[in-house]
Amino acid sequence: MITLDISRARKFISDDEYIHARTLAFSGLEELREGTGPGSEWLGWRDLLANPNLGLISDIHTLASDIRSKADVFIVCGIGGSYLGAKAVIDALKSEFDGTGPEVVYAGHHMGGAYLQSLINYLSQPNADGSAKSVYLNVISKSGSTLETALSFRVLRNFVETRFDDASSRIICTTSEEGGVLNSVIEEKGYRKFIIPSDVGGRFSVLTPVGLLPIAVAGVDIRNLINGACETYEYLEEDSEDILEYAALRNVLHAKGITIDVFSSFEPELTSFGGWIQQLLGESEGKDGKGIFPTVAAFSTDLHSLGQFIQDGKRSLLETFLVVKEPTSDFQVPAGEHFGDGLDYLDGESFHTINTKARLGTIEAHCEGQVPIVTVQIPRLDERSLGGLIYFYEMLTGVFVYSLGVNPFNQPGVEDYKKAMYRLLGK
């Protein structure tokens, strides 16, 4: 169960402001549920959980298991919502020191030539036992023509086709059901294909094949991930109080001049999840001259960089703490006076306890520094909890952005810079 606490931020707004904003939030909730708001043709991410496609999930699980048994490296080629959701879940649930299953790497999320050359060099190097690396490639793009992804796919597709006789089974395309560049390539080459639902936008697509295949290949149980999201969907359909409170609070703070929302966590595993939230909210609310800019802080690391500004800089900040109640594992501080480091008072203490007290101390200090604080807590860092957190923020995004009077599901600014970029490239 997700636990929301807005009490430390609530004191910054009056009852009248809050009541008015709740009315706006409730209207946003009604627009979302009834499909009457702008962009309602993009609400398929809700339908996915109302009627989950168990057959598709099973197919993805089966293919992922096969890839895990054969691949040394699995490349996720995509940008924005085509890779951020998968990376958020994988980084949260799979240790970078795990060493089991294929290595998941990312491409197509920028146009850095040096990065791509380094990747090709790495893929070309043999394993420690002298065998050639077994490489699988998943390109993710609804149109197939997004520049960053298409350029990288051209290079990586050529690499796989040159190195492997069974390239058609090693290249998986996740794209639109019909139309688009990739479908022509699939028809010609016989690549495997998964469909991106036409009514789900990129930043809401993590629980579609877009995110589920890479997540499953990484060794995460996607069935539990979906189950957790479905449970939260059902709960929030019955009781949307937390969503209304959260959306109303953000609406009032937005009106009072709060311009930045810092998503902070003392769990390093959640840093990439903050990056997913950054796109989800930023691309949804940042239009029509409105929105709160989302950014990410990884504590306690960033206390030594951003901490000074959060504590004592311009008071235009909201801070949201993503909290995990119970650790999946822990470590105790070694005891012994011989260390000579002045930390004897922490002998035998768990790192989780120390980290928790650091978080509580930071929250206390930031509150004293007049920063509105929200905490969003999940029970533990596992598939069910993370699936629930994904849907929680998807729903919050829809309700809050509607409450601002903004279409949550388009991205006109993205189209603007794409046009300028393509013009300069001579298209």
Q: pLDDT in tens for each of the 427 residues of the chain?
A: 899 999 999 999 999 999 999 999 999 999 999 999 999 999 999 999 999 999 999 999 999 999 999 999 999 999 999 999 999 999 999 988 888 889 999 999 999 999 999 999 999 999 999 999 999 999 999 988 899 999 999 999 999 999 999 999 999 999 999 988 999 999 999 999 999 999 999 999 999 999 999 999 999 999 999 999 999 999 999 999 999 999 999 999 999 999 999 999 999 999 999 999 999 999 999 999 999 999 999 999 999 999 999 999 999 999 999 999 998 889 998 997 778 888 889 888 999 999 999 999 999 999 999 999 999 999 999 999 999 999 999 999 999 999 999 999 998 887 777 788 778 788 7
Q: What is the DSSP string of 106-172?
A: EESSS--HHHHHHHHHHHHSPPTTSPPPPEEEEEE-SSS--HHHHHHHHHHHHHHHHH-TTHHHHEE
- Pairing mode of beta strands 73-77, 135-140: parallel
Residues near 399 by Cβ (< 8 Å), separated by ≥ 6? Answer: 25, 28, 29, 32, 240, 243, 244, 247
State the Cα–Cα distance between residues 154 and 157, nearest whole angstrom.
Answer: 5
H-run or E-run covering 375: strand 373-380
pLDDT score for 1: 87
Residue type, 252: V
Q: What is the location of CATH 3.40.50.10490 in the chain?
A: 3-37+225-413, 46-220
Classified by CATH at the fold level, domain 46-220 comes out as: Rossmann fold (3.40.50)
State the Cα–Cα distance between residues 29 and 243, nearest whole angstrom.
Answer: 9
State the Cα–Cα distance between residues 324 and 332, nearest whole angstrom.
Answer: 18
pLDDT score for 417: 76
The count of residues in the chain is: 427
* Model-wide pTM > 0.75: yes
CB 397 within 8 A of CB 391: no
pLDDT score for 131: 96
Rg of the Cα atoms in the chain: 23
CB 332 within 8 A of CB 351: yes
H-run or E-run covering 278: helix 271-285
Closest CA to 82 of 188, 153, 169, 132: 153
Q: How many CB atoms lie within 10 A of CB 205?
A: 27
pLDDT score for 99: 83
CB 324 within 8 A of CB 375: no
Q: In degrees, to the nearest 5, what angle opens at C-alpha 306 toward C-alphas 300 and 311?
A: 95
Classified by CATH at the fold level, domain 3-37+225-413 comes out as: Rossmann fold (3.40.50)
Give the SS3 label for residue 379: strand
pLDDT score for 253: 98
Q: How many CB atoms lie within 10 A of CB 12?
A: 18
pLDDT score for 261: 98
Biggest CA–CA distance in the chain, Å, is 70
CB 270 within 8 A of CB 321: no
DSSP 8-state code for residue 128: T
CB 42 within 8 A of CB 204: yes
pLDDT score for 368: 95
Q: How many CB atoms lie within 10 A of CB 342?
A: 7
Burial of 233 (0-12, 13-18, 19+ CB in 10 A): buried
Please identify every residue annotated as catalytic.
Answer: 283, 304, 418
pLDDT score for 10: 96
Closest CA to 371 of 381, 362, 358, 383: 362
Output the CA torsion 219→196→142→87 (10° steps): -20
Q: What is the DSSP string of 201-246?
A: -GGG-TTSHHHHHHHHHTT--HHHHHHHHHHHHHHHHH--HHHHHH
CB 318 within 8 A of CB 253: yes
CB 27 within 8 A of CB 37: no
H-run or E-run covering 113: helix 113-124
Closest CA to 31 of 409, 402, 407: 402
Q: In degrees, to the nearest 5, what angle opens at C-alpha 403 toward C-alphas 398 and 406?
A: 75
State the Cα–Cα distance between residues 42 and 28, nearest whole angstrom.
Answer: 15
Q: In degrees, to the nearest 5, what angle opens at C-alpha 387 toward C-alphas 6 and 382?
A: 95
